[in-house]
Amino acid sequence: MNYALIGGTGVEKLVLKKTKQHRVDTPYGNVSLDIGEIGMSEVVFLKRHGTGHTYPPHRINYRANIWALKTMGVKKILATGAVGSIVDELTIGDIVLVDQFLDFTKNRPLTFYEGGDRGVLHIDVTEPYCPVLRNNITEGAVRAGIKVKNGGVYVCTEGPRFETPAEIKMFRLLGGHLVGMTGVPEVVLARELGMCYATIALVTNQAAGINHEPLTHAEVIASMNLLSNTVAALVESTCKLMDLDQRCYCATGNKETGLF
């Protein structure tokens, strides 16, 4: 299995053809995966929040998820996620291909390498999101007639609460464009295991202080439902352009350790 799709809020409803379930045992716990087809590509589908959205962002077993995908042989990961806009130029319904992140998580395991037999690894994240895979998404969007905004800084917060207006103001001053709760450590763990990773961020709400109405999870789900068909078309178009070669730095991310 060379390709994986990680579905965020609402995207777990994306329909795969000829699906079957598969369970992977990892050092960090068991992971349930769906295997199916998107277009002509066979894909591993991971429900980030579990079946029925049972895991909040801070309780997701990120290490088990990414380890399971690597065990399946995955080389390239397309990740989708609902985000809030913290700048005026990004509005509800926009699809953004992020290129950098700011990490404001607090209590999550952030690495596979915590000393001991596995050693220590200081991973390079100059380009945290694979440039080749991002180009595939951009071209896939053009071919599918879908507008994608290329570039943006993703701010990852701990959750599960939404952010305060003061926090959003700080994130804007630091150069953030979008805020979400699941992008880190997922992107870092994928790099540690030598997989290409790119995030398709789906703007489902305006952040606190920008939208003066109370924020609700129902609002996020409603916006995701409206975007679901567009996301499906974008993923299918992108899968047609991906190949098995990793012509990028991503595959060498963990060469110091030799893991996998």
Instruction: Calculate the alpha carbon distances from 42 to 37, 111, 117, 139 in Å.
Output: 4, 28, 35, 20
SS3 105: coil
Whether the model pTM is above 0.75: yes
Structure tokens at 117: 């037999």
Start-to-end Cα distance in the chain: 15
The torsion angle over the Cα atoms of residues 25, 56, 230 and 147, rounded to 10 degrees, is -110
Torsion of CA 188, 207, 11, 38, to 10 degrees: -60
Distance, C-alpha 146 to centroid of its chain: 19
Separation of CA 103 from chain center: 14
Q: What is the pLDDT along the chain (260 residues), one digit of tens a residue?
A: 899 999 865 565 565 777 899 999 999 999 999 998 887 788 999 999 988 888 999 999 999 999 999 999 999 999 999 899 999 999 999 999 999 999 999 999 999 999 888 888 899 999 999 999 999 999 999 999 999 999 999 999 999 999 999 999 999 999 999 999 999 999 999 999 999 999 999 998 888 776 666 666 666 666 666 677 888 889 999 999 999 899 899 998 777 766 77
Can you tell me the distance from the alpha carbon of 15 to that of 149, in angstroms, rounded to the nearest whole number? 25
**What token pair was written down for 175?**
């150069």
40: helix, strand or coil: coil
Q: Determine the CATH number of domain 79-252.
A: 3.40.50.1580
Cα–Cα distance between 155 and 157 in angstroms, integer?
6
